Structure 1
Amino acid sequence: MNIRRLLSGITFGMIMGCVNAFEFTPANVSSYIALKKPGNMSVYYPLKMNKLTDQKFAYQLVGDSEMPVHVYQNITDSGKNRQVVVWITALEDVYFNFGQQLKSNFRHDDCLFYMPGFWYRRNLRSPKEAPSFHTYDSWLVRDDRLSTPMTAVYDEKHNKFISVTRVANFECDALTTHNQGEIILSGKTSIGYTGFENVNGMTALSFGFPYKEAPKTYIRKLTLAPYVQAFQLLKKGESIELKWEINESRADDFSDCVRKTWEYSYDLYRPTPVETPYTDKIMKDVLSNFFVESYVDNATVKYFSGVELRTDDCGKNDVAEVGFVGRTLLNAFNALEYGEEKERTELVDMANSIFDSYLQKGFSKNGFFNEVVHLKRNSIEKNHSIRRQSEGMYAVLYYLDYEKKNGRNHPEWEMHMRKMLDNFLLLQNKDGSFPRKFKDDLSIVDKSGGSTPSATLPLVMAYRYFRDRRYLEAAKRSVSYLDKELISKSDYFSSTLDANCEDKESSLYASTAAYYLALVTRGHEREYYAELSRKAAYFALSWYYTWDVPFAKGQMLGDVGLKTRGWGNVSVENNHIDVFVFDFVDVLRWLSKEFDEKRFAEFSEVITSSMRQLLPHEGHMCGIAKTGFYPEVVQHTNWDYGKNGKGYYNDIFAPGWVVASLWEMLSPGRAEGFINARYR
């Protein structure tokens, strides 16, 4: 047995390249504790690891001078994982901040970095005003910015990675009066920090408790502020236990690293569905009030007012938006389908009026949607976006298909869709990509291809509806581009229209686009698209929370009991969670069957259960003025979109897309039903 263990250890050491950080020796680990007296700058104590024998602790961490705390540490080994446990006991009342740094043998220039839901590769798609390598090559962030409180460092040269993940109950947070510099917490928190640092050209993983952020903290969209370091009170005789888990493995590339770390974090946290009383029936019934109270009929185009509303009154405004945050056409289809199902003629009439008005007044000279109309100002957004145009077409194709199934045909709508589709074919580049933004004469405003997958969906649908293979071939070319430039490079960017950075929606759309093509192909082609969908799905999943962020008493989201597991962070620039899901739950369920991956199906249930929690209705308004106007900018960390901060919403929100997203989640099997329809 000893020989077997020896040989196993030698083999493992050869495979892993003797990763020093995993050995957890004094040569590879540095520690500190900073102690603060109110009104004074903190005192920083570097700590040395003193090996203990015949003790319940493996090490005592000691400073060069006497300290009013005792610090002990154990390290337990479980194969590839190593758990680090630290105990701190106060000899007198102290305010403390503790941290450790694991030095790897990875050259910093050889590495890509990953903090789920916040940092991908080097964040070079993000501007210098947001966390990225454009500003610094070392970053520490608070746990609650991340969908899993983890940092992973991937060595591209040697195809291996190390991650450090926090292990805790995450029960509480504390309010502070400041958000930069040295701050004393008003109570106890569960939030620590994690990150990576360049130490003399080599990468180190850093982590500690309570939180700190350096060299900058990110407090608002495109607003970096000075560093922050929090100090928590530990009373005389009190102890605190802190845990992290170190994981080390090989990965073929950065994409494989993201896959393996997501599977690892999912298995570590095991998120379960959130119990709510809101069935699908209840959800749709309450959400339908958004249709009733947001409907605007005294304008050139009828619409649901779902953009730029105030949370405190949800009053209608003059902005009609086809896709993106408005989604008025998809909401119109949902209202029509639901209205006929429930025999609610007012919803049917509203929906038909919206479609009729857009048919008459909703198109540009060249046949594109007037995607954003400011009615009182009598202005129309001059630049088109491939995303809004695609989302509008997607909604209309569902509408036409539904109408045809019910014996109602709309040849004029079909003519408009054909013209727009033919324009799409002209817009598509030779590499298969679509420009992000363009003018009505097809001249390009933003050639970035990050929004390309949004076009794939209506192209596949149009192929099935019109039986025109040109649209299928265009869809295939678009996914060929996604494979070459996004999926194979693990580089998902700028799908959202209000940011230029790494974002969730690009990977989610890419996974969904490949899923749509898998539904209409067979054999090796189908297998190819299924594999692409799975690969992109891991990146989309990486944005979704596997844990419940703690809130402080007095922070509304915590007081109403929000559990963040299953909610997705948005982008590097827009550091809040939301309910963007649309088709993605169906994609996960399909992938789960295709690849026998139970985690996908299990986590889809977490998503579908958790996203019901903030349903505003009488007695449970969740900080929203009207029933069914589901919140959008859910601020779960020390960041705000302009107002209010953690535990609250921004004062301006766009429930239009939120209601549409939830409605799709509550309407499983739509895409497969459309693609496999037999009646056409």
Structure 2
Amino acid sequence: MNAIVKRFVCCAVALSGIAALGAVNYSPEYVSASLALKVPGNPAEVYSLGMQKLADNYFDYELVSEEKIPVNIYQKVEKTENGEQITVFLTALEDVYFHYGQLVKTGFRHDDCQFYLPGFWYRRNLRSPEEAPSFHTSDSWVVREDRLSSPLTAIFNEKSGRSMSVIRLAVYDTDALTTHKEGEVILSGNTSIGYTGFENVGGVSCLSFGFPYQEAPKTYIRKLTLAPAVEAFQKLAKGESISFVWELREEKSTDFSQFVQQTWEYCYDTYRPQPVETSYSADKMKEVMSNFFVESYVSDYATKYFSGEGILTATCENGPVAEVGFVGRTLLNAFNALEYGEAKQRTDLIHNANSIFDSYLENGFSGSGFFNERVDFHRGDFGEVHSIRRQSEGIYALFHYLQYEKEKGRKHPEWEKRIKSMLDMFLNIQNEDGSFPRKFKDDFSIVDKSGGSTPSATLPLVMGYKYFKDKRYLESAKRTVDYLEKELISKADYFSSTLDANCEDKEASLYASTAAYYLALVSKGTEKEHYTALAKKAAYFALSWYYTWDVPFAPGQMLGDLGLKTRGWGNVSVENNHIDVFVFEFASILDWLSEEYNEPRFSQFAEVISTSMRQLLPYEGHLCGIAKTGFYPEVVQHTNWDYGRNGKGFYNDIFAPGWTVASLWELFSPGRAEHFLKK
């Protein structure tokens, strides 16, 4: 019997008969603990620990085994403002390799519960496929803390509205490498990464946590690849001591959305992430990134573009793919290059930008009049399938371009005609419930009916209403948010906004918040209040994907050696377990919500995001593992996961700087939507 299975059996026995509990009550009858000790070359031995109450002692409990073990373990339990703080002290009586774990019963029926591990697990992850962590594979999961935007697990009882959570309080400053990534592994040094999660024990939900890390029943090593469980052991030398602190908390919420809001605020208040000190101003960021508009420019084909998708970090050589939106963002980058080029009198940028717009007007459309949104010129592949997201992001960029040009006294009637025609086609493919299909063909036949990408269409529809004074577009936009409110926001179910995954993801909630924000900006009175409230509710889910703490790295892992602070960076999705700089207008939305609701956490965290995302700026002498100046990295692998190359502390070998440059450029160009919609 392996150590993970044996620990589960020990805990299951200790936690029998617990269904009546419904509050934090840290006492022997509600808690189980275990200690696994490993002698190198041998399977670990697992010892079930009982809690013996101590009197007139600094500690409240001694944890003892029926068998003699070479470790003294004591616990101190203290009431706090939030709940109960549990401090565990271990002292080795001889050299040992140890793994410590606890289960705390909630008293909630497992079948009544939804689960939340920030930036990784929402409800039961049932939007995710079987090949990713979800209830499809198991109803019990524990994971290493660095997978999570806050090292917390919370269990929400939908029937009672009560929840219990456990959060770790630690100085996260070390990590260690291992030679293996599955089974029982001995760490090469000290780590500060533990584990957290939830387990179903006899039909009752239990909080599960411990140190050092483990992952069970599977570990998630790369996209759609589950691997065998892993359990780490750290050396504790004779006479050495180590301590760990967890806080248990109970809360009452009206629904899952309020539960996520309260838990995010608790995480934020617990870790209090501060802005990252950096010498890079917004102007400096733009100056360096503007090199992307020079070196990525491709003029060899009928449509000119910035090569920003599917290129190698080792060379950053231009590729044959031109992509309007999503990870390419060539039209938004063209607008950014034009605006910046004219402000800085950079004729090279002005030329590149104008040639892109002119060539797309001439050659960038399908037979029906949609964008050729992703073209591979080497393969002669112009794409049979369109996506509402790429099409919308292209129109969004063009509206900014047209408004800018209008303010400069320059007119583009042919572009206006094209865009109006595209918006009219949007009206034709919108579903009765207000949603848009995620993917469709040029003949309007549906390829993917999922409505997860719907909020991306809201933005150009609202902009089209404002630019063309056509109320049909506003009504269409309102219908999109009606759909979002009914199917995503009210259900707290944000899914499949990204185009390369089918799962719970950050971008769905971020786009939903942005869509409501756009409608709020063009509304008044109770209608504005309603859209503002929707933007706020969705924003908490988007915020939950962003790190409130700094993940530690092992020596030799490049990101750690560069001193990367992960606070303010966002995890991507359940399928894609890396952090990135996807923010675009979200910081502006947070600042706006901060004023609307007098909520300083929003604006404070927006500043954390803004400063932290500057850290990996590549320039001569500080290339951060990227071949060219200004080509900002994308797949930042911060945990034990990869896209197929390099793993924690490094990037994947292929990246898409087109969208990273566009995202950061918008971050450092605040208030664009308000400028456009308030004109």
With normalisation by structure 2, the TM-score equals: 0.97
Of residues 490, 495, 498 in structure 2, which corresponds to 1:493?
Answer: 495
Aligned length: 661
Of residues 142, 145, 155 in structure 1, which corresponds to 2:147?
Answer: 145
Structure 1 partner of 2:514: 512
Of residues 207, 210, 232 in structure 1, which corresponds to 2:209?
Answer: 207
> How far apart, CA to CA, are the structure 2 residues paired with 1:517 and 1:108?
39
Question: Deviation string for 1:35-71 (max 9, x for gaps)?
Answer: 0011111010000000001111000000111100000
Runs (4+) of structure 1 exceeding 3 A deviation are 17-21
Aligned partner letter, 1:605 = E
> How far apart, CA to CA, are the structure 2 residues paired with 1:243 and 1:80?
14
> How far apart, CA to CA, are the structure 1 residues paired with 2:79 and 2:378?
66
Question: Deviation string for 1:129-163 (max 9, x for gaps)?
Answer: 00000110000000000000000000000011001
Task: Find the residue that maps to 1:379 and give its secondary structure.
Answer: coil
Structure 1 partner of 2:410: 408
Aligned partner letter, 2:240 = E
> How far apart, CA to CA, are the structure 2 residues paired with 1:145 and 1:368?
39
Within a 5 Å distance, the mapping from 1:543-554 to structure 2 comes to 543-554=545-556
> How far apart, CA to CA, are the structure 1 residues paired with 2:449 and 2:630?
38
Aligned partner letter, 1:536 = A
Aligned partner letter, 1:330 = L
The question of 1:363 aligning with 2:353 is answered no
Of residues 581, 588, 591 in structure 1, which corresponds to 2:590?
Answer: 588
Structure 2 partner of 1:66: 68
Aligned partner letter, 1:358 = Y
Of residues 606, 609, 629 in structure 1, which corresponds to 2:608?
Answer: 606
Shift of 1:21: 5.5
Within a 5 Å distance, the mapping from 1:240-319 to structure 2 comes to 240-319=242-321
Aligned partner letter, 1:29 = V
Of residues 331, 334, 337 in structure 2, which corresponds to 1:329?
Answer: 331
Structure 1 partner of 2:4: none
Task: Find the residue that maps to 2:515 and give its secondary structure.
Answer: helix
Shift of 1:20: 4.6
Of residues 463, 480, 483 in structure 2, which corresponds to 1:481?
Answer: 483
Contact 2:23 2:250 in 1 (8 A): no
> How far apart, CA to CA, are the structure 1 residues paired with 2:507 and 2:80?
36
Structure 1 pair 20–74 and aligned structure 2 pair: CA distance change class (3 A): farther
Structure 1 pair 408–343 and aligned structure 2 pair: CA distance change class (3 A): same
Contact 1:21 1:102 in 2 (8 A): no
Task: Find the residue that maps to 2:233 and give its secondary structure.
Answer: strand
Of residues 23, 26, 34 in structure 1, which corresponds to 2:25?
Answer: 23
Structure 1 partner of 2:156: 154
> How far apart, CA to CA, are the structure 2 residues paired with 1:368 and 1:79?
57
Structure 1 partner of 2:669: 667
Structure 2 partner of 1:99: 101
Contact 2:22 2:108 in 1 (8 A): no
Task: Find the residue that maps to 2:28 and give its secondary structure.
Answer: coil
Contact 1:21 1:29 in 2 (8 A): no
Contact 1:456 1:513 in 2 (8 A): yes
Within a 5 Å distance, the mapping from 1:123-202 to structure 2 comes to 123-202=125-204
Of residues 224, 227, 230 in structure 2, which corresponds to 1:225?
Answer: 227
Task: Find the residue that maps to 2:492 and give its secondary structure.
Answer: coil
> How far apart, CA to CA, are the structure 2 residues paired with 1:230 and 1:21?
31
> How far apart, CA to CA, are the structure 2 residues paired with 1:381 and 1:205?
48
Question: Deviation string for 1:440-489 (max 9, x for gaps)?
Answer: 11111100000000000011111110010000000000000000000000
Task: Find the residue that maps to 1:431 and give its secondary structure.
Answer: coil
Structure 2 partner of 1:6: none
Aligned partner letter, 1:192 = G
Task: Find the residue that maps to 1:183 and give its secondary structure.
Answer: strand
Question: Deviation string for 1:577-633 (max 9, x for gaps)?
Answer: 000000000000000000010100000000000000000011111000000000000
Question: Deviation string for 1:71-90 (max 9, x for gaps)?
Answer: 00011112441111000000
> How far apart, CA to CA, are the structure 2 residues paired with 1:144 and 1:473?
43
Shift of 1:377: 1.4
Shift of 1:104: 1.3
Structure 2 partner of 1:444: 446
Shift of 1:371: 0.3
Of residues 32, 42, 45 in structure 2, which corresponds to 1:43?
Answer: 45
Structure 2 partner of 1:526: 528
Structure 2 partner of 1:13: none
Contact 1:383 1:439 in 2 (8 A): yes
> How far apart, CA to CA, are the structure 1 residues paired with 2:507 and 2:266?
23
Question: Deviation string for 1:3-43 (max 9, x for gaps)?
Answer: xxxxxxxxxxxxxx984551111111000010001111101
Contact 1:80 1:249 in 2 (8 A): no
Structure 2 partner of 1:466: 468
Structure 1 partner of 2:646: 644
> How far apart, CA to CA, are the structure 2 residues paired with 1:600 and 1:323?
28
Structure 1 partner of 2:3: none
Of residues 428, 433, 436 in structure 1, which corresponds to 2:435?
Answer: 433
> How far apart, CA to CA, are the structure 1 residues paired with 2:185 and 2:377?
48
> How far apart, CA to CA, are the structure 1 residues paired with 2:574 and 2:502?
9
Structure 2 partner of 1:10: none
The question of 1:341 aligning with 2:343 is answered yes
Aligned partner letter, 2:677 = I
Gaps of 5+ in 1: 1-16
Task: Find the residue that maps to 1:396 and give its secondary structure.
Answer: helix
Please tell me the root mean square deviation across aligned C-alpha atoms, in Å.
0.8
Contact 2:513 2:535 in 1 (8 A): yes
Contact 1:21 1:28 in 2 (8 A): no
Structure 1 window deviating more from structure 2 (153-162 vs 376-385): it is 376-385
Aligned partner letter, 1:320 = A
> How far apart, CA to CA, are the structure 2 residues paired with 1:505 and 1:384?
19
Contact 1:546 1:565 in 2 (8 A): yes
> How far apart, CA to CA, are the structure 1 residues paired with 2:296 and 2:80?
56
Aligned partner letter, 1:424 = F
Contact 1:50 1:62 in 2 (8 A): yes
The question of 1:655 aligning with 2:657 is answered yes
The question of 1:621 aligning with 2:619 is answered no
Structure 2 partner of 1:111: 113
With normalisation by structure 1, the TM-score equals: 0.97
> How far apart, CA to CA, are the structure 1 residues paired with 2:23 and 2:251?
13
Structure 1 partner of 2:8: none
Gaps of 5+ in 2: 1-18
> How far apart, CA to CA, are the structure 2 residues paired with 1:485 and 1:419?
29
Aligned partner letter, 2:599 = E
Contact 1:214 1:228 in 2 (8 A): yes
Residue identity over aligned pairs, in percent, reads 68
Of residues 388, 391, 415 in structure 2, which corresponds to 1:389?
Answer: 391
Contact 2:430 2:436 in 1 (8 A): yes
Shift of 1:327: 0.2
Structure 2 partner of 1:7: none
Contact 1:519 1:675 in 2 (8 A): yes
> How far apart, CA to CA, are the structure 2 residues paired with 1:197 and 1:496?
30
Task: Find the residue that maps to 1:602 and give its secondary structure.
Answer: helix
> How far apart, CA to CA, are the structure 2 residues paired with 1:464 and 1:395?
15
Aligned partner letter, 2:301 = A
